Structures are given as C-alpha cells and as structure tokens.
Structure 1
Amino acid sequence: MVESAIAVRVDVDLALVQIVAVGAWTRRLRVDLVAAVRKALIERPRAILLDLERFADADSAMAASVMLAERRGTGLDPPVPIVAVASGGIHERLRTGGVAERVAIYANLAEALAALADDLPPPQRTALQLQPDVLSPCAARNHVADACLAWGLVHLLHPARAIVSELATNAVEHAGTPFTVTVSRRDHLLHLAVEDGDPALPRTLPWAGEGPSLAPRGAGLRLVASAASAWGTAPTAAGKVVWATLGTLDPPRG
C-alpha cells in the first residue's frame, strides 16, 4: 500500500509556500490538501506551489481539488496565484480536467521555481541576520521599527515591534541558532517573519497556573496572537519560520 501524506514548506526569500503531496490520491489526502491550501492562504504568500510529482495515481477529483485551490487564491485581494508541478499521467489528468486553463503547470520543481522568480514582482522587503544573543531581540525591534518608519507605517510601529520582539526572544531562548528577521510589505499587509535553524515548531502552552511570575510560560505567543491579524509557523529547508501579519489599512489592536 502506498503511503499518502502532505508536507508544507515555506520559502521566506520568495514569500512562497510549497505544498508537497505524496502517495495515492485518497479522500483523506484531498481533505488534507485543501486544508493545507486554506492555511497557507492565511499567510498571504506571493504564490502557492502544489508539487504533485510524487503521486502514484490520481482520479478526476484531483483536478477539482486543484481548481478549488485556484478559486480560493484568486478570490483574495490581492489574489494569490496557484501553480502546480506535475508530469506524465498526473499532468494529463490535470490537463483533461481543465486545470491547465487556469493554473500554470510545470514539468519539474526547478522549472516552476525559476518561472516564479521571474514572474513575481520583487517584494518591498528587508532582512536582518542575528545571532542567538540576549541583545538580538533589541536589534530585531529596531529593524522592524526602521522598516515601519521608512514605509510610512508609523501606526504599526508599536505592535510590529512587540510581535518581532517575542518571536526573536523565542528564537534566542528555544532555538539557540542564528536567525533571520524579515519584514516585507505585501500589498495591504505587513508581514513579519523570524526564521531559525531549529525544526521543532512552537506551540502555545497552557498558562502555568497561579504564582508570582509576571511572565508565565506561553505568554509570548499569546501576545503575538492578540496583536497580529494572523500568525503561524511552518518548516523551511533549514529549520522553521514563525510569521505574523498586520493589516496596513487597519487600526492597530489594543
């Protein structure tokens, strides 16, 4: 029996989410694929790449699922394009299902990435590489503040600084690896990301209970969730990225 699975990876530099589907096309895989696309769209990436090269087989429902992903992406403002990688029988299944009329389909991953790098407009983006040092969260806060001032987003300066401070502190305390703070402007969103070399994904912990502590465990990500429009985490090629967004047109929370 062929194992089926979905894997998600984020390319911070391209602001791209890659969703890899492996195995046989089953109802469960279809549900997982649609859920992965829905979750990826919350981040508002510049594109979503569906890597379907590793499928053992497929039926007509695959084309319908890819079309559903395309409709979800194009229905956003701004739209998020969906592209696919497929070959052989899978490519033919998508073509006969009408997918090729709406979705760009590439023969391999390298071809798709090269096309996306050429087609996507360069983002308004700035990045800072930092070491796992106690002073690094301060440098991260200053970095995001400089970006907000340079882009005329003064009203987002304080919530953006607070979010990046928490994410950078987590990278220092828990990942313990060099990390990169990336600030980018994607149309109506300010996107904040901290990428480190630890593949372990963070989770919001239950409150530690009563006691004198002024900073209970789990409070950092709770503060991020309360300040951001959306936030999440995903694996990268070298570890993980934790991201958060703020609406540039919305008043800050709090």
Structure 2
Amino acid sequence: MTLPLASRIALVTGASRGIGYATALALAKAGAHIVAVARTQGGLEELDDEIRTATGHMSTLVPLDLTDLDGVARLGAALHERHGKIDAFVSCAAIAGPSSPLGHIEPKSWDEVMAINLNANFQLIRCMEPLLRASDAGRAVLLTCSEGQRAPAYRGPAAVSKAALDTLARVWAAENATTSLRVNLFDPGPVRTKLRATVMPGEDPATLDSPKQVAEMIVPMCQPDWQDNGKVYEYQTGELRDFAAAT
C-alpha cells in the first residue's frame, strides 16, 4: 500500500518537542522525508531515532535558532540545491512569553516573542514559498491559538504575535489563491505540552489531549488531496472555518 506522503518532503519547525515533534513523526509515518528544525540538538536526535525505528528511514536534522534570519535563508538555499522543492511546511515553533500586565513587560521579552512567533515565520514564508510553489501540491500549515482572537489579560505578547501571525497567513493564502499552494492555520487548543504547562501551571495535564493525538489531524492538511485554502482548523471542535469566521 502506498503511503499518502510517500516521496514527499516535509519541513517542520519546533520539531524537538511537543506538537512539532509529534507532527514530524506522524508525517514520517505517512511516508514523508522530514526536514526537522529546532534549536535543541538532543531533541532532534531523539526524533530521528524514533523515525528510524518506526519507518526505517533517516530524517534531515537542522539545529537552527529561527531568530537567525540569515540561517533561515541558508536553509532555503540548501533545500533548493538538494531537493529543488518542499511539499509541506508545518510551523510549530513558538514561545509562550511572559504572563504580565503590558506595562510590566520588558521590551526585550516583547521582542523575543515577536522574533519567534512572527518574524521567523515571515522569513520562513519568504524563503520557503519558492520551494513550496515548485511542488505540484505545496501545503503550508501554521499553528495558531485562540489568544490572538480573545486578547486575554496578561497575555499580551503571545496574543499580539498570534493575531499578527493569523493576518500573515491570511495574506499569504490570498496571494496563492490561484496557485497550487494551500495555506491554512491549525488551532490545537489546550494540549499536554511544556509550553502549555508554563502558561497554566496549575492545570492537570491528564485532562488534555496529547501532542500525538493533535498531530494526527495535521497530517491530512499536508497531503496533496487537501484542497482548502485560507481556513482555520480547530482541533477541539473539529471545525474547519474561513479566516474571517474565526476572527
């Protein structure tokens, strides 16, 4: 039986832990060759070991701090030279940022959140779009969260960065409405991750779904037969909505 992502190349950021790790593994099991990007070398090596055990295939490990915008550009050039394309891009890398009144947040902390949650994705779009457009069915999935729409108190940097990311994705999807590239958002909601635990330390993680469960719903969005563009998939409800309906 042919796997749905056989012979396809998938780039996953934030792949050393959490949803990024689980998504990279799930895509590999679906047949994709994984280009795994994260800052943590050890986590990437653990992922590669698990992929090899599950599939018998190696992945491409890229230890990279996504705030290194020149490094992102070099990655794009290297992928172009080696593969000439990528077929899927899943953006999972994010940081929670401080939970504090806006007036108490240091500019450095604000800049750190924007650098990872927003600016890195802008650079990834710039550098990976030509590779996705070179595919016969490029698919991009950017992880978002409801904080961008709800604007909760004390979560300013995360909320603003995600609201901006949503708009970035909307623009990108609109620009590719007549191409073979499909751009969508994925909102996992509360998931059993370290990032979630930093924001909600009193929450019982046993009440939350695992990254593995969430990742299984991202895989179809990376497949060539996925035709929706400019949508938000909400994991908690199973709904697929237009961007406009989610704002």
TM-score normalized by the length of structure 1: 0.30
Structure with more helix by fraction: 2
Structure with more strand by fraction: 1
Which has the higher relative contact order, 1 or 2, with Cα contacts under 8 A spaced 6 or more apart? 2
